A and B are shown apart, each in its own frame.
Chain A
Amino acid sequence: MWRLRGIRSFEAMITAEGLTKRFGEKTAVDHLDFTVQPGRVTGFLGPNGAGKSTTMRMIVGLDRPTAGRAMVNGRRYAEHRAPLHEVGALLDAKAVHTGRTAENHLLAMAATHGIARQRVREVIELTGLESVARKRVGGFSLGMGQRLGIAAALLGDPATLILDEPVNGLDPEGVLWVRRLVRNLAAEGRTIFLSSHLMSEMALTADHLIVLGKGRLITDAPVAEVIAGGTRSRVRVRSPHASQLADLLAGPDVTVMRAESGVLEVTGLEASGIGDLAARHSLAIHELTPMNASLEEAYMALTADAVEYRTEALR
């Protein structure tokens, strides 16, 4: 975690110190402390309503913290002389006037900082928007909106990028492109802070994870560490006698979940133990598969207590 400073071309860092946001009675972000380091992709995870977007909005000064502060390169975002050169942010793919063309949107954004027309052309090319640059944004698909948002974030060639759900709505080719793009940007020494609800995508893209639940910091660790420490491994059991087997397997340290009809997911027992138990009771087993913990599972385990909106609670 301790990194030598002063040897990088970029010294960009995002720091949150006691960052808190309350909306009336509700605390959306609760005393967050973290640092997003340069030279790597930091993933920002959390269930819906965990406060990810609010945190990102506070970093770029759109929301005012109730307490604490968020700093970029040692200053508040608004105190920078050229904010777009410091931080490029994609907070909302459709933070664009629908009646304006993509090119004119980018030209207007660039004009605030005196960024040349040439750079606007570059980011249009870079994000593959050439064919639709002169079309009005209202007709854009979500994926094209994301590309335009990324183009706008890159306008100032910033040392720090904050991307809220950048792959949302992108086709597989677009997802791959974003992954390569952020990895390259991080390799150049830039600071990348990326939120996503696609855990599998995070496993492929991020080096480091900051996990949020109910506005609080749950984990701040390298991806590998989160996966390793997150969950115990499970065993998938398929049997025509699933319910009988479930009763037999039940015990103080064992959790049995019914995944689908005739399929159990068992935590707390090895595959061999389950097989032996079934044999002793002469119960047929059609499948017995040990399953490695994935980032998704690690994440579910981490945030299980912190989920704001559970599926059951939906209507």
Chain B
Amino acid sequence: MSTMTRTTTHSHRLGPQQTRLGFAGVLRSEWIKLRTLRSTVWSYLFVIVLTLGMALVMSLTIANGMGGEMDARGMPDAAQTELFVQSSVFGVYLAQLVVAVLGVLVVTGEYSTGMIRSTLAAVPTRLPALAAKAAVLFVATFVVGVVSTVGAYFVSTAVYSGYGLSASITDSDVFMPLLGAALYLALLAVFALGVGTMVRSSAGGIGIVLALILVVPVVLQMIPADWAQSVVPYLLSDAGTSMFAPESMTGGDSMGAWQSLLVVLGWVAASATGAAVLLTKRDA
């Protein structure tokens, strides 16, 4: 380290302060924090690669299957649209796990490193920091989600067009599911952020969120009671999937997309409320 003799601190400010704490600044701060971590960059790249890759695999598999028995050219428009959507959003089933982990890590990474104390010392009212984290994470994940699913649509198109299939992205039956999938990823990230804030531990937060997505639905489906079956559509991952997936992928008895969105928003609201209450109450 270089020698240092400077011990003055440039105190040209002896009068009133030039700048102050504000929500726009906190938003900027959280954006800097999000984009300057490698884990964020890798997670988002992984989401894009997964979604595009799965679209390629899915569309090739379906197209090959059709080459033999099915006559693609005779397929009704609605069925063609469904094929495109299926292939484009298929990767989201895997990408949701990446996004959930990222959402947890965005805040538990601060707890495990001690960064949270710097964050809360700079924003001592605390809630603006949480709100800014959520907002930045939501927007970034939504944008990455749109890039992924729209990209996946074009990958699918590249494969299907060779078989004479087509579905236009300007058709709302195509672009709404693509946007819906991106919206689900963004909301899931915010939900995971809330869980991470509540449990303050990476392992605990990731465990809870992944169990909710992967384990709970399976366990409920194995319970041979009516109540268990009627609860399933209200689970975060099932409602989330129903926001964008064609009926052939969700099993039929799920709710409509808008109703599912409301259920997902309910999960996010519960998580965010719990996080807000605990963050303001607890010592940092």
Contacts and interface: CB of A to CB of B under 8 A. Distances in A.
Please say whether chains A and B are actual partners in one complex: yes
Nearest to B27: A111
B21 A84 contact: yes
A301 interface: no
Interface residues on A, range: 35 or more
Q: Is the interface of B mostly helix, strand, loop or mixed?
A: loop
Contacts of A109: 29, 118, 122
A111 B20 contact: no
Contacts of B204: none
A258 interface: no
A78 B124 contact: yes
Contacts of A245: none
Contacts of A185: 9
Given A97-B110, A108-B32, A109-B118, A177 B19 contact: no
B96 to A, nearest CB: 23
A113 B110 CA distance: 20
A233 interface: no
B225 interface: no
Interface stretch (A123-131, A197-205, A235-243, A267-275): A123-131
11 contacts: A62-B117, A62-B121, A83-B122, A96-B118, A104-B32, A111-B25, A112-B25, A113-B122, A115-B19, A128-B1, A152-B118
Given A126-B6, A184-B7, A95 B115 contact: yes
B124 A91 contact: no
B172 interface: no
A259 interface: no
A85 B9 contact: no
A98 interface: yes
A190 to B, nearest CB: 8
Contacts of B248: none
A144 to B, nearest CB: 7
A17 interface: no
B284 interface: yes
A65 B4 CA distance: 39
